[in-house]
């Protein structure tokens, strides 16, 4: 049955992608197949081999320790505000982002992350035949985040075509920043977060190959990464990273307050008027998608509701709701939905991406705004594809 649902999930993704493709005749199936096989092999290795178990275990323990150390700093400042044996989301999940941001800043400062991003990107470009810039953005988005990644390619951003710009933005929305991975791991199983990050890089490129196929001349396949004109001192970098982490934590907190209150308000109105909650309606709308990618029939409405909540609000709101629901769901549903949730594919991210690009290149920002809904569709299809691959390995 896993193979059947894998096929139906693929057909769903490919059918929708093909229907909205900019250039159906230009779709190159060989790189798509290569990347899909790579996803299957990587997922198998991570889930079903001793090597994979060790790798995921090491990553999980690393982030667990980082979160523990981060919370020690939070406790020093806010410890007296917590209730005994209680967990406060802002203190225990969001504020540790500050410490992770510092670690990322240090790795950037000593050129460790740029080295990894550059050569993983070059390897992927050989694998899939896509441009160096496209693969650089796909990899660096998974580390730096959807807004920050464009800062490193500001010069080239103004030179790329509209078609290439769509692919870059789809990759940015399909990824997640390492700075918030620790927060995700407090709400989802660590192994699903790790696998989702790996799958999403390739899923975004596969979807871009379907919706937005194009060819790049060899002389146009350049990668111009911006270097800092004045490199800050080590301690200045630490201070900047701390403030960046705080901004992320506060922004996420503000969005959670607004979106959760709004969803509850809409649920209240729908229940009062139609005697059914808005989230339940969303669940029915998304339940066919959940079924086609392998969620058991009895759980499709609940899974569909979480998937829709993520797209309409953001992944944090969906993860919080999913936490209370997951214990009553099968392992298969938990795995599929967990992988689907690990990305920035939602309405608010369209605004963030558009604003980020416009701040650097106003004309390109206007182009992003024009294909905003297609951008959301592409990044959501990437999440569906990643979840479909995950379902192949969970009974």
Please tell me the distance from the alpha carbon of residue 60 to that of residue 98, in angstroms, as a whole number: 19
Residue 180 is predicted with a pLDDT of 86
Lowest mean pLDDT segment, chosen from 10-24, 37-51, 110-124, 335-349 = 110-124
Residue 223 is predicted with a pLDDT of 60
pLDDT digits (tens, 9 = 90+) for 183-219: 899 899 999 999 999 999 999 999 999 998 887 765 4
Residue 14 is predicted with a pLDDT of 96
pLDDT digits (tens, 9 = 90+) for 220-241: 565 655 566 667 889 999 998 8
Residue 306 is predicted with a pLDDT of 95
Residue 252 is predicted with a pLDDT of 81
Which residues make Cβ contacts (< 8 Å) with residue 8, sequence separation at least 6? Answer: 292, 293
More confident of the two residues 326 and 256? 326
Residue 226 is predicted with a pLDDT of 56
Lowest mean pLDDT segment, chosen from 12-26, 52-66, 247-261 = 247-261
HSE of 211, CA atoms in CB hemisphere, 13 A = 30
Give the pLDDT band (50/70/90) at residue 387: very high
pTM: predicted TM-score of the whole model, two decimal places = 0.88
Mean pLDDT of the chain: 87
pLDDT digits (tens, 9 = 90+) for 115-148: 888 888 888 888 887 888 888 888 888 777 776 7
pLDDT digits (tens, 9 = 90+) for 322-354: 998 999 999 999 999 999 999 989 888 888 888
Which residues make Cβ contacts (< 8 Å) with residue 1, sequence separation at least 6? Answer: none
- Asked if 101 contacts 178 with a C-beta cutoff of 8 angstroms, the reply is no
The residue assigned the tokens 């099968």 is 330
CA distance readout (Å), 184 to 49, 189, 367: 24, 9, 32
- Give the mean pLDDT of 86-112: 83
> Which residues in 149-163 are b (16+ Cβ under 10 Å) and which e?
bbebbeebbeebeee
Residue 229 is predicted with a pLDDT of 61
- Give the mean pLDDT of 79-88: 62
Please tell me the distance from the alpha carbon of residue 148 to that of residue 220, in angstroms, as a whole number: 24
Residue 86 is predicted with a pLDDT of 56
Residues in the chain: 395
- Give the mean pLDDT of 247-258: 85
Residue 219 is predicted with a pLDDT of 45
- Asked if 184 contacts 319 with a C-beta cutoff of 8 angstroms, the reply is yes
Q: What percent of the chain has pLDDT over 90?
A: 41
More confident of the two residues 178 and 234? 234
Residue 15 is predicted with a pLDDT of 96
Please tell me the distance from the alpha carbon of residue 20 to that of residue 28, in angstroms, as a whole number: 16
Whether 301 shows a pLDDT value over 90: the answer reads yes
pLDDT digits (tens, 9 = 90+) for 156-171: 888 888 888 998 899 8
Which residues make Cβ contacts (< 8 Å) with residue 116, sequence separation at least 6? Answer: 143
- Give the mean pLDDT of 87-105: 84
Residue 125 is predicted with a pLDDT of 82
Please tell me the distance from the alpha carbon of residue 352 to that of residue 369, in angstroms, as a whole number: 11
**C-alpha radius of gyration, the chain, whole number:** 20
Give the pLDDT band (50/70/90) at residue 34: very high
Residue 211 is predicted with a pLDDT of 94
What are the respective helix, strand and coil percentages of the chain, to the nearest 5? Answer: 80, 0, 20
Give the pLDDT band (50/70/90) at residue 80: low
Whether 84 shows a pLDDT value over 60: the answer reads no
Neighbour count for residue 289 (Cβ, 10 Å): 22
Q: What percent of the chain has pLDDT over 70?
A: 94
Backbone angles phi, psi at 238, to 5 degrees: -60, -45
Residue 290 is predicted with a pLDDT of 96
Whether 59 shows a pLDDT value over 80: the answer reads yes
């Amino acid at each position: 049955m896993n193979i059947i649902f894998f096929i139906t999930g693929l057909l769903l993704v490919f059918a929708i992608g093909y229907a909205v493709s900019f250039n159906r005749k230009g779709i190159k199936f060989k790189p798509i197949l290569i990347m899909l096989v790579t996803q299957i092999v990587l997922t198998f290795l991570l889930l079903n081999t001793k090597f994979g178990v060790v790798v995921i275990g090491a990553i999980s323990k690393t982030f667990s320790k980082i979160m523990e150390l981060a919370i020690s700093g939070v406790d020093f400042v806010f410890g007296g505000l917590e209730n005994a044996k209680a967990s406060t989301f802002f203190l225990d999940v969001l504020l540790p982002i500050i410490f992770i941001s510092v670690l990322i800043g240090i790795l950037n400062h000593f050129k460790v992350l740029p080295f990894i991003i550059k050569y993983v990107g070059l390897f992927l470009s050989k694998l899939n035949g896509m441009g160096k810039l496209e693969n650089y953005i796909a990899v660096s988005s998974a580390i730096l985040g959807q807004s920050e990644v464009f800062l490193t390619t500001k010069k080239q951003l103004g030179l790329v075509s509209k078609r290439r710009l769509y692919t870059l933005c789809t990759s940015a929305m399909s990824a997640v920043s390492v700075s918030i991975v620790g927060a995700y791991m407090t709400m989802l199983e660590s192994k699903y977060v790790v696998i989702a990050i790996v799958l999403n890089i390739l899923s975004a490129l596969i979807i871009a190959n379907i919706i937005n196929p194009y060819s790049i001349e060899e002389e146009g396949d350049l990668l111009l990464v911006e270097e800092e004109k004045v490199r800050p001192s080590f301690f200045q970098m630490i201070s900047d990273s701390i403030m960046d982490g705080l901004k992320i934590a506060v922004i996420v907190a503000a969005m959670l307050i607004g979106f959760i209150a709004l969803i509850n308000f809409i649920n209240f109105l729908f229940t009062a008027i139609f005697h059914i909650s808005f989230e339940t309606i969303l669940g029915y709308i998304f339940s066919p998608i959940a079924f086609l990618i392998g969620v058991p029939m009895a759980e499709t409405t609940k899974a569909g509701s979480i998937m829709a909540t993520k797209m309409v609000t953001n992944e944090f709101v969906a993860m919080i709701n999913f936490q209370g629901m997951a214990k009553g769901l099968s392992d298969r549903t938990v795995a599929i939905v967990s992988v689907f949730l690990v990305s920035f594919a939602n309405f608010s991210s369209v605004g963030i991406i558009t604003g980020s690009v416009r701040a650097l290149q106003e004309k390109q920002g206007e182009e992003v705004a024009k294909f905003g809904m297609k951008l959301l569709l592409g990044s959501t299809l990437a999440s569906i594809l990643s979840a479909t691959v995950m379902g192949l390995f969970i009974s």
